């Protein structure tokens, strides 16, 4: 069972990933972009998400090695997804 802070962080992360996927995928569904374009857009959105999660973690002075999930963990997850999307983009080239 997760503590409330970790649960809130995971829910926020899932909502943002869903939003990023919708924003990146709409041009593909409308025929305006290729699947590679979706991977590029998703990569950029994830890397921006990682950057802004780290900035907000600094502003709110969250400890990097907290016992609960926080914005630092979210930043690492977004960064990892950005690298994964970069790999997918290279495979689709």
Q: What is the pLDDT along the chain (93 residues), one digit of tens a residue?
A: 889 999 999 999 999 999 999 999 999 999 888 888 888 899 999 999 999 999 999 999 999 999 999 999 999 999 999 999 899 888 877
Per-residue model confidence (pLDDT) at position 33: 82
Which candidate, 17, 86, 18, places its Cα nearest to that of 49? 17
Number of folded domains that form the chain: 1
**Helices 71-92 & 4-29, crossing angle to 10 degrees?**
30
> What is the residue range of 83's domain?
4-92
Cα–Cα dist 32/26, whole Å:
9
Gap between the Cα atoms of 2 and 89, Å rounded: 34
């Amino acid at each position: 069972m997760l503590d409330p802070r970790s649960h809130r962080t995971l829910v926020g992360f899932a909502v943002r990933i869903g939003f990023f996927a919708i924003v990146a995928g709409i041009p593909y569904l409308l025929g305006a972009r290729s699947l590679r374009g979706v991977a590029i857009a998703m990569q950029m959105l994830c890397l921006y998400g990682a950057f802004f999660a780290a900035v907000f973690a600094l502003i709110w002075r969250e400890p990097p090695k907290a016992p609960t999930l926080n914005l630092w963990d979210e930043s690492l997850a977004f960064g990892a997804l950005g690298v994964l999307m970069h790999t997918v983009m290279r495979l689709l080239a």
